[in-house]
Structure 1
Amino acid sequence: MPCRFTALGRVAAALVVLSSAPCVADETRFPPGAETAGQAPPSEIMLRAAPLMQAGKRDEATFWFYAGQLRWRSRLNAHSHQDPTGEPTLFSALFETLGPSVNGWAFGDIPALQRTIDAVLLWDQRYPDPSLDPAVHTQTRAGLTGLRDQIGREAASIRAERASRGLENR
């Protein structure tokens, strides 16, 4: 009888250990500085993309470009009546300056871009900006999720368009 309880005890102990382990491993890795960037102004987050693109760290640049965009769009949407020559103009200028090179790279690999968007959404959830209006931010996050889904649905046409323009599809 003692052997049966010992074996049963081992099985029970194993079940306790296994049940405390997460069912799905979180393999998302954020770029360096992700923990502290959550409280940074959106312009600072977005501006991280420029030197990273120049250094050839394009995937990391894409992450920060989209993270900054998410936060900044939430901020702009929450304060839609602000002076259009202030933050809205700065956002547009950065978007127009950084967007072509970042998106030119990012849209060359749709599945990788979708994974980056998922990582941005997870980062945003883990390191929230308490200054953002929660309802507006939820809508802005839904917009980014919608973009991720749309590019997935339109991946073939995006690839064809890029190929017709001589752009790389990876």
Structure 2
Amino acid sequence: MHRVLVIFATAVALSCQVAFAKEPEAAQTIQQLADDIVNKPPATYFSLATELYREGQKNEAAFWYFVGLIRYRAWILATGKDSQSSDEPYHLSILAQSVGQSIYAHVDRDSKDLVKAIDRALAWDLEQPNAYTSKDAFKAQYERARQELLALRQKIETTPAAMKPEPVAGRGMFSW
């Protein structure tokens, strides 16, 4: 009996060490993604949201997800990749569905938090430069992307149940 207890205690101690070893790695990944994010491709915002969500920082993940929606959509509109000849709208759709499924999973009880995250994302986007897609050169495209997010905000406020995703096997959070 004593031997079993020692083996069990050792296994628990080792698993705790493995869990603690992952935390600095996750924090480092999050920091690397966040550093100088205004100069990074729009998909980076979704990667950051994914890592934050995995670490239990759901409101922060939602914020970066919505910033990602603005920046990626503005980039697609600015580069003319909105047409059928480009795969970019499809890539954005995949990112939005995969990361968004987790973000919207509890929209019925967390809709106020999502609205706050959208408001924060809109404010942050106004204040921060975007070296990846010029705000000055593409004002109309940015405005359209922001209006699309405002429409989403309205939908979350008025009919949050419509935003709740259907569970589908094989979809959900992923990381690059």
Q: Output the TM-score relative to the length of structure 1.
A: 0.64
Partner of 1:150: 155
Task: Find the counterpart in structure 2 of residue 97 from structure 1.
Answer: 98
1:1-57 superposed Cα distances (whole Å, 9 cap, x missing partner): xxxxxxxxxxxxxxxxxxxxxxxxxxxxxx978683223211011111111111111
* Structure 2 segments unaligned to the other structure (5+ residues): 1-29, 168-176
Q: Does residue 61 in structure 1 map to residue 61 in structure 2?
A: yes
Alignment of 1:56-135 (within 5 A): 56-78=56-78, 79=80, 80-81=82-83, 83-85=85-87, 87-129=88-130, 131-132=133-134, 133-135=138-140
Q: Which amino acid aligns with 2:143?
A: T
Q: Name the CA distance, whole Å, in 2 between partners of 1:107 and 1:40.
A: 32
CA deviations over 1:69-116 (Å, ceiling 9, x no partner): 11101111231247423x333322222221211221455311111111
CA-based RMSD: 2.8
| Runs of at least 5 residues in structure 1 that lack an aligned partner in the other structure | 1-30, 166-170
TM-score (normalised: structure 2): 0.62
Structure 2 counterpart SS, 1:104: coil
Q: 1:61 to 1:105 in 2, by over 3 A?
A: farther
What residue identity is the alignment partner of 1:57?
Answer: Q
Output the CA distance in 2 between the equivalents of 1:35 and 1:105.
29
Alignment: residue pair count: 129
How far, CA to CA, are the matches of 1:153 and 1:76 in structure 2?
Answer: 28
* Matched AA of 1:142: Q
Change (3 A) 1:140 1:68: same
- Please name the residue that 1:141 is paired with: 146
Structure-2 residue corresponding to 1:45: 45
Structure 2: how far apart are the matches of 1:146 and 1:96?
A: 17
Using a 3 Å threshold, how does the CA distance of structure 1 residues 67 and 106 change in structure 2: closer, same or farther? farther
CA contact 1:59–1:106 (8 Å) conserved in 2: no
Letter of the 2:114 partner, please give it. Answer: L
Matched AA of 1:41: P
